Amino acid sequence: MSKLFWSPGLEKLEPYTPGEQPNSQTLVKLNTNENPYPASPEALSLLAQGDFADALRRYPDPESCELREAIAERYNLNNRQVFVGNGSDEVLALSFYSFFRRSEPLLYPDITYSFYPVYCQLFDIEFRTIPLRNDFAIAVEDFAGNAGGIIVPNPNAPTGRCLSLDKIEELLGLHPERVVIIDEAYIDFGGESATQLIERYPNLLVIHTLSKSYALAGLRLGFAMGQEHLIEGLLRAKNSFNSYPIDAIAQQVATAAIRDSAWHADNCGKVIATRQRSEQALQKLGFQVVPSKANFILTKPPAPGAEALYLALREQGILVRYFSKPRINEYLRISIGTDEEMDQLIRNCKEILASQS
């Protein structure tokens, strides 16, 4: 009955399915790449003060000026080269709409962030997937050929593999007349950001999020950086959809978080150190580990295999991500938690593997 009222095509949309967010607090949650530590104390103490009555009575700054200024300063840009949105998912959606609705297909890797095909369907964008090599490496030369644009996460998700800036430059040079988006959701965990290329490449848009390395997934804040003509395009789309995507509280908290670069560097260092010891511990148990520069590890467990291990861990209150998709259905994606959480994961894996033999 309800479908009677839907616009044509809505029924055919296949929405993105996020990793589950269970209510239980006792679970070890290693399935959605959240940061295991609380955000910058500067940001959190702002919230604790709770003095938002006036800020909330009014509409927020539609241009998020202070926040964009803080981001620009952080990345050596000017504030007209920065666009902010309600999570980088929103920034991505507006970017697909603004740059990729063309007669040639958008190119992205066959194994990548699974929101991309959803935006393509929503905005009626044709796309062509470029197969990763057997070791899950992105081969930049494979992106030559007819393209309406390119989007690549760097590091890629859910593989964790990272491209060097040389390779990103190669990608940018393939289609100088098309926008190339580098989705840097995980760049702070060991990769080199393409933001330093913005000055030289008018077709480059770099997208960041506060959800991973800033431990603010619940705040919903993402941003895009690029030359002014690209940011202007995004503003047109945004201002035709929602003038106030960033609420007053998010603007203040995000600004404080971006300015606390000492906390950020320290946090990333901790996550990287835990990733390295987790990789070694998993390898010792016979897991194959894809080299990661992200806050997660894609890994192929020994018998009883990925799906059985995922289910057994789940039974024991440890959530990891299993994708029943071609090429990665023998792998698990494990987010990096605290050292204690990872120790527990390793212990439980060891027991499950032993009980199967």
Ligand X SMILES: *Cc1c(COP(=O)(O)O)cnc(C)c1O
Task: Judge whether 279 and 272 are in contact, CB under 8 Å.
Answer: no
Nearer residue to ligand X within complex by CB, 253 or 346: 253
**Binding string, residues 81-120; x marks residues near ligand X by CB under 6 A:** ------xxx-----------------------x-------
Decide if residue 184 touches ligand X (CB under 6 A).
no
| Contact with ligand X (CB under 6 A) among 40, 209, 278, 299 | 209
Beta carbon of residue 85, minimum distance to ligand X (angstroms, whole number): 8
Parallel, antiparallel, or unpaired for β 296-300 and 332-335? antiparallel
Quick one: angle between helices 41-49 and 248-259, nearest 10? 150
Beta carbon of residue 6, minimum distance to ligand X (angstroms, whole number): 26
Whether the link from the prior residue into 18 is cis, omega within 30° of 0, is no
- Burial of 240: CB neighbours in 10 Å, binned 0-12, 13-18, 19+: exposed
Residue 31: partners with Cβ closer than 8 Å, 6 or more residues away = 19, 20, 319, 320, 321, 333, 335
Nearer residue to ligand X within complex by CB, 219 or 282: 219
Percent of residues in the chain assigned helix, strand, coil, to nearest 5: 40, 15, 45
**Binding string, residues 127-156; x marks residues near ligand X by CB under 6 A:** --------------------------x---
**Cα→Cα distances 107→42, 89, 346, Å:** 40, 18, 37
**Bridge-partner residues for 153, per DSSP?**
183
Beta carbon of residue 298, minimum distance to ligand X (angstroms, whole number): 13
Beta carbon of residue 324, minimum distance to ligand X (angstroms, whole number): 19
How many residues bind ligand X (CB under 6 A)? The answer is 12
Residue 130 host element (H or E): strand 127-130
Beta carbon of residue 120, minimum distance to ligand X (angstroms, whole number): 15
Beta carbon of residue 306, minimum distance to ligand X (angstroms, whole number): 20
Beta carbon of residue 210, minimum distance to ligand X (angstroms, whole number): 7
Residue 60: partners with Cβ closer than 8 Å, 6 or more residues away = 244, 246, 247, 248, 251
| Contact with ligand X (CB under 6 A) among 151, 168, 215, 217 | 217
Nearer residue to ligand X within complex by CB, 79 or 335: 335
Point out which residues bind ligand X (CB under 6 A). 87-89, 113, 153, 157, 183, 185, 209, 211, 217, 222
